[in-house]
């Protein structure tokens, strides 16, 4: 689970080591990456909304 989250976060900033990528493609299930990706993106959007609300206060 943690390794999936780490891979998704790495994808978010666009940096990933080759070795890790190969591990991801050989082991985990694609659905787990997709679901984590959606959740992390939503969290990121919520974080931005929160920051914008803080700034607008």
Residues forming the site for another protein (CB under 8 A):
13-18, 55-56
User: What Rg value do the Cα atoms of the chain yield, rounded?
Assistant: 14
CB atoms within 10 A of CB 11: 16
In the complex, minimum distance from the CB of residue 17 to another protein, in angstroms, rounded to a whole number:
5
Among candidate residues 4, 7, 1, 9, the one with its CA nearest the CA of residue 40: 9
CB of 38 to another protein, least distance (A): 22
- Give least dist CB 57 to another protein, A: 10
């Amino acid at each position: 689970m943690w390794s999936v989250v780490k891979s998704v976060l790495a994808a978010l900033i666009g940096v990933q080591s080759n070795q890790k990528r190969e591990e991801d493609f050989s082991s985990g299930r694609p659905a787990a990456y997709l679901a984590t990706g959606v959740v992390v993106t939503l969290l990121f959007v919520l974080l931005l909304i929160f920051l914008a609300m803080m700034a607008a206060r």
